[in-house]
Chain A
Amino acid sequence: MADKRTSIDDIVSELRSGMTIGIGGWGSRRKPMALVRALCRSDLQDLTVVAYGGPDVGLLCATGKVRKVVCGFVTLDSIALDPHWRAARQRGKVEVMEVDEGMFFQGLQAAAWRVPFLPTRAGLGSDVLRINPDLRLIRSPYGAASPYTHDPADADVELVAMPALHLDAALVHTNRADGAGNAQILSPDPFFDALFLGAADRRFVTTEHVVPNGTLAEEGPLSAVVIHRLLTDGVAEAPHGAHFTANPPDYGRDEVFQKEYAASANDPAEWDAFSARYVFVSDDEYEAHVRERMTA
């Protein structure tokens, strides 16, 4: 059986400028932040980031890595809006494909199922269709006379054809994983991480702790192993790798740190200080700075 253990640096070395990269988690919850910081430090550029957006989007925008974002929102949860995202948008620095968050789910699902689109009511009548002029509608081929038309109101109905959101690479963070590429989410919501991986060509998991193959059931329920090894190419151990986003039961959101992160959008000097201390540093230095802060 293949040993898929790798490192964050090796994962980043497999990515290329211009790629479309999906990032798991939701808002400021269980984001692969150690990997995101490594992207920020890399020489990658012109990325298209596909995410239920949180500080992953904000940090990548603030470090100039992003050409385009595909999202339904960007939020820090306890802070309604990521100010780095707001600043990037208001400066006109980033393109956006903004869609309903359910359409987004269907786009990932379509990619994972290898179909070009999935139909949905979501988006009809809204400006999602105006601000994304390449989105198309699809008319149901089942008319009133069709034996498959359960409800006449659905005969010939016109729906949004949400296109597949195909990813060059997907990056997610889990609570536990094994070297074979199975990964366990002990947090209450697995979000869409397995779907991000399913929609991607190259699939990478960072995790709090790598355990031997066959022992994930000792860490928590097997039903929490929602990512199986058919969905993964590489697994990197990254303890505290979702900090400062919430990753229960291992740790909650670091709200004080998140406030610092948000405040660093206020002016260039604050951002320079924040990024010099917390972004353009190794993971060991990052951890040391986070610890210093807590004991200060």
Chain B
Amino acid sequence: MTEPSLERAGATLPCTRAESCVIACADVWRDAGEVMASPFGTIPSLGARLAKLTFAPDLVLTDGEAALMVGAPPLTARPADLVREAAMPYRTVFDVVWSGRRHIMMMASQIDREGNQNISAIGDHRHPKVQLVGVRGAPGNSVNHPTSYWVPDHTVRTFVEHVDVVSGVGYARAAAAGPGASRFHDVRRVVSNLGVFDFETPERTMRLRSYHPGVSVEDIVAATGFTLAIPPDVAETRLPTPEELDLLRNVLDPGSLRDREVKS
């Protein structure tokens, strides 16, 4: 096995950027208990599987089609090789969403300071400059169960002051919409290719939780289109344990699909 390593500022990093992102995503499901983890994107999918294989064994993962799967197989496992434990058609997924027993990690084409997410359209919704996939389940997810976001390209175009079309609901808007929206609202965390963010400030605005190894706080500030809360003692994203690195590199993703989503 070749050990990937990175030279930066004279220091050799023990893991790649993509691997830091996987660890940050896995930690999103720490202490989640028996809930459905619904990861979107390669790196969140690896994170959920890594969490299940290590510190979150009760996580419930789907096969990406219409079933719950046993264990946490490699990302490239063939459908025929998956072991399934229960049916989970979309009709039943809504039952899970509205019961709250789920923590999703969606992607965001735009995300803002209050935790609003956009996957619908860039520009005016009536005449979009860029049509995106659509709001999908984001409005319902974000007011029913813990919701986190994954942004593989952290720039001032993705981290914006105000998103163009609020798909997933952020803190201020959930509060303004009343207890119907705020009661189960819980935008937990945002993981980007640069760092980890949460909303644990008095105003429930985005805060830098950790910066990935090899990234500076200044890099993050420069790539963010609004003022982040930055605690004075903000630390680096934790390093993977040797066991985690081994599972990731040799079991879950030996073909390094993770590096296609986030370059080192």
Contact = CB atoms under 8 A, between A and B. Distances in A.
Interface of A: 26, 53, 71-75, 80-81, 85-86, 89-90, 92, 98-103, 105, 120-128, 130-131, 153-154, 157-159, 188-192
A125 B176 contact: yes
Given A85-B131, A153-B183, A127 B91 contact: no
B180 A191 contact: no
B180 A122 contact: no
A154 to B, nearest CB: 8
B132 interface: yes
A192 B91 contact: yes
Interface in B98-121: 98, 120-121
What are the 3 tightest A-B residue pairs by CB atom distance, in nearest-first order? A122-B140, A73-B134, A124-B181
Indicate the size class of the contact surface on chain B: 35 or more
Contact of B135 (A53, A75, A126, A191): A126
A124 B144 CA distance: 11
B133 A122 contact: no
B174 A73 contact: no
Contacts of B65: 188-189
Contact of A98 (B89, B90, B134, B137): B134
A151 to B, nearest CB: 9
Contact of A158 (B125, B128, B180): B180
Given A72-B137, A100-B137, A121 B120 contact: no
B204 to A, nearest CB: 13
Contacts of A86: 130-131
A192 B74 CA distance: 31
B169 interface: yes
Contacts of B87: 188
B179 A153 contact: yes
A179 to B, nearest CB: 27
Contact of B140 (A81, A89, A123, A127): A123
A234 B20 CA distance: 55
12 contacts: A72-B134, A74-B134, A86-B131, A100-B136, A100-B138, A103-B139, A120-B98, A124-B177, A124-B178, A157-B180, A158-B177, A158-B178
B165 A75 contact: no
Contacts of B136: 72-73, 100-101
B94 A126 contact: no
B7 to A, nearest CB: 34
A103 B143 CA distance: 13
B191 interface: no
B158 interface: no
Contacts of B131: 81, 85-86, 89-90
Interface in B163-180: 165-169, 173-174, 176-180
Interface string B19-62: 00000000000000000000000000000000000000000000
A124 B143 contact: yes
Interface centre among A86, A105, A126, A130 (most CB of B within 10 A): A126
A90 B140 contact: no
Contacts of A99: 135
B135 A100 contact: yes
A122 B139 contact: yes
Contacts of A153: 179, 183
B130 A121 contact: no
Contact of A90 (B66, B130, B143, B165): B130
A80 B133 contact: yes
Contacts of A103: 139-140
A296 to B, nearest CB: 27
Contact of A121 (B66, B90, B140, B168): B140
A71 B132 CA distance: 13
A212 to B, nearest CB: 28
B139 A123 contact: yes
B90 A189 contact: yes
Contacts of B120: 98, 127
Contacts of B128: 89-90
A136 to B, nearest CB: 13
B144 A121 contact: yes
Contact of A102 (B94, B133, B134): B94
Contacts of B121: 89
B78 interface: no
A190 B89 contact: yes
B129 interface: yes
A72 B178 CA distance: 24
